[in-house]
Chain A
Amino acid sequence: MKSVIIENASVIRGNKLILEDISFSVKPGECIGIYGSNGAGKTTLLTLINGLLFCKKGRVIIDNIVLSQKTVRQIRIITGYVPQNFEVDPRIPILSKTVVLSSCYGRMGLFRFPDQSMLEKAYGLMKKLDVENVFNRPFGQVSGGERQKIMIARAMMQEPEILLLDEPFSSVSHTSKEKIIEIIKNWHKEKGLTIFLVSHEKDTIEKLCSRVFHIDNGRITSQEALHGNL
Chain B
Amino acid sequence: MEIYNFMVYSWLAAVLTGLACSLIGVIVVTMGLSFIGVCMSHAAFAGALIGIILHINPVVCSFIFCFVVAGILGPISDRSEIKTDTSLGIMFSSSLGLSFLFLPMIPGSKSEGLRFLWGNILTVSHSDILIVGIVCLLVLGFVIAFFKEIQILIFNRTLALASGIPAKIIYYMVLFLSGAATTASIKAVGGLLVFSLIINPAAAAYQLTYDMKKLFLFSSIFGILSGCAGLLIAFWLNIPAGAPIALSSVAIFILSTVFSPKRRTHAKAQTRILQ
Query: Residues of A at under 8 Å CB distance from B?
Result: 50, 52, 73-74, 76-77, 79, 81, 83, 86, 88, 91-95, 98-99, 102-108, 110-111, 113-114, 138-139, 158
Contacts of A76 in B (CB 8 A): 161-164
A77 adjacent to B151 (CB under 8 Å): no
Identify whether the interface residues of A are mostly helix, strand, loop, or mixed: mixed
The 9 A-B residue pairs whose C-beta atoms are closest, nearest first, are A106-B164, A76-B164, A106-B163, A77-B164, A102-B152, A81-B162, A138-B210, A94-B155, A93-B210
CB proximity of B164 to chain A, nearest CB, Å: 3
CB proximity of B263 to chain A, nearest CB, Å: 12
Q: Which residue of A lies closest to B149 (CB)?
A: A105
Q: How many A-B residue pairs have CB under 8 A?
A: 75
CB proximity of A195 to chain B, nearest CB, Å: 16
Q: Which residue of B lies closest to A105 (CB)?
A: B148
Contacts of B164 in A (CB 8 A): 73-74, 76-77, 106-107
B210 adjacent to A113 (CB under 8 Å): no
Contacts of A81 in B (CB 8 A): 159, 162-163
Contacts of A79 in B (CB 8 A): 162
For residue B30, CB closer than 8 A to chain A, the reply is: yes
CB proximity of B47 to chain A, nearest CB, Å: 31
Size bracket of the B interface: 20 to 34
Contact of B161 among A52, A88, A108 (CB under 8 A): A52
Contacts of A99 in B (CB 8 A): 155
Contacts of B162 in A (CB 8 A): 50, 52, 76, 79, 81, 83
| 18 CB-based A-B contacts, threshold 8 Å | A76-B162, A76-B164, A77-B163, A93-B154, A93-B210, A93-B211, A93-B215, A95-B210, A98-B152, A98-B155, A102-B152, A102-B155, A102-B163, A103-B163, A106-B163, A107-B164, A111-B144, A113-B147
B158 adjacent to A83 (CB under 8 Å): yes
For residue B206, CB closer than 8 A to chain A, the reply is: yes
Q: A105-B148, A108-B148, A110-B145 are in contact. Are A92 and B154 (CB under 8 A)?
A: yes
CB proximity of A158 to chain B, nearest CB, Å: 7
B151 adjacent to A102 (CB under 8 Å): yes
How far is A136 from B38 in the complex, measured between Cα atoms in Å? 35
How far is A93 from B213 in the complex, measured between Cα atoms in Å? 10
User: B197-236 CB contact bits vs A (8 Å, 1 = yes)?
Assistant: 0000000001001111001000000000000000000000
How far is A68 from B64 in the complex, measured between Cα atoms in Å? 33
For residue B124, CB closer than 8 A to chain A, the reply is: no
Contacts of A74 in B (CB 8 A): 164
How far is A88 from B30 in the complex, measured between Cα atoms in Å? 12
For residue B156, CB closer than 8 A to chain A, the reply is: yes
Contact of A158 among B155, B156, B161, B163 (CB under 8 A): B163
For residue B165, CB closer than 8 A to chain A, the reply is: yes
Contacts of B158 in A (CB 8 A): 52, 83
Q: A73-B164, A158-B163 are in contact. Are A92 and B155 (CB under 8 A)?
A: yes
Contact of A110 among B146, B151, B161, B209 (CB under 8 A): B146
Interface centre among B149, B159, B163 (most CB of A within 10 A): B163
CB proximity of B195 to chain A, nearest CB, Å: 21
How far is A158 from B159 in the complex, measured between Cα atoms in Å? 13
How far is A114 from B212 in the complex, measured between Cα atoms in Å? 14
